[in-house]
Chains A and B, each alone.
Chain A
Amino acid sequence: EPEVTQTPSHQVTQMGQEVILRCVPISNHLYFYWYRQILGQKVEFLVSFYNNEISEKSEIFDDQFSVERPDGSNFTLKIRSTKLEDSAMYFCASSPMGANEQFFGPGTRLTVL
């Protein structure tokens, strides 16, 4: 069964450093998402991406964040200058259509020191 994959599973970085989180969505899906879950809190929407552009973003997704689909398979989330409060589990998701179930990857745990 096809699944969303994410790398790395755990990333440790120093405050102020740039990180790139990588995702490979399910191959025939058209919509891609990033969510995050701060430890002990609920899953929060960051951004959605369709047709090679951002279709929606939350207040969390400020200028420090960017997303890219550099080729036909990868979908990346970049945090330009990490802050302590960026420490969280980041989930990538994809869906075949917009209003449909989203399939989530296993997540990348980001730890900012």
Chain B
Amino acid sequence: AQSVTQPDIHITVSEGASLELRCNYSYGATPYLFWYVQSPGQGLQLLLKYFSGDTLVQGIKGFEAEFKRSQSSFNLRKPSVHWSDAAEYFCAVGPSGAGSYQLTFGKGTKLSVIP
């Protein structure tokens, strides 16, 4: 079964500092990978996705992520964090098999930003 591990439950960074959120996955084939962000009381917003091709993908709000097959990782990065980036970030993998399109989520990383 596929799984997603986000090893950091909570990260605190200063505004303007760089950010890297870690995501490792377990999947038998080439995965589809996603990062979603959830602000308090809000739904899930897609930041970026990887299906194939260039392993460095750009997303919204200045985020990027790099797919590393050898490390089974898809880490999210941002060069300079803004206070409005404070939220919870979820890595997800899918599909889970032929005809199965469910997403499997990690437990999330809560990001706090110090002004």
Contact A42 B90 (CB under 8 A): yes
The reply to whether A99 and B102 contact each other, CB–CB distance below 8 Å, is: no
The total of chain A residues at the interface (CB under 8 A) is 25
Q: Is A75 an interface residue (CB 8 A)?
A: no
Judge whether A84 is part of the interface by a CB distance below 8 angstroms. Answer: no
A43–B90 CB distance below 8 A: yes
Among candidates B43, B46, B99, residue contacting A55 with C-beta atoms closer than 8 Å: B99
CA distance A103 to B103 in the complex (A): 12
Distance of A104 Cα from B92 Cα, bound (Å): 13
Q: Are A104's CB and B101's CB within 8 A?
A: no
Chain B proximity of A54: nearest CB distance (Å): 12
A99 to B49, CA, bound (A): 12
| Residues in A neighbouring B43, C-beta threshold 8 A | 4, 91, 104-107
**CB–CB B34/A98 < 8 A:** no
Closest 9 CB pairs between A and B? Answer: A106-B43, A45-B102, A104-B44, A98-B101, A43-B105, A42-B107, A104-B43, A42-B105, A99-B95
Q: Tell me if B44 and A42 are in contact (CB < 8 A).
A: no
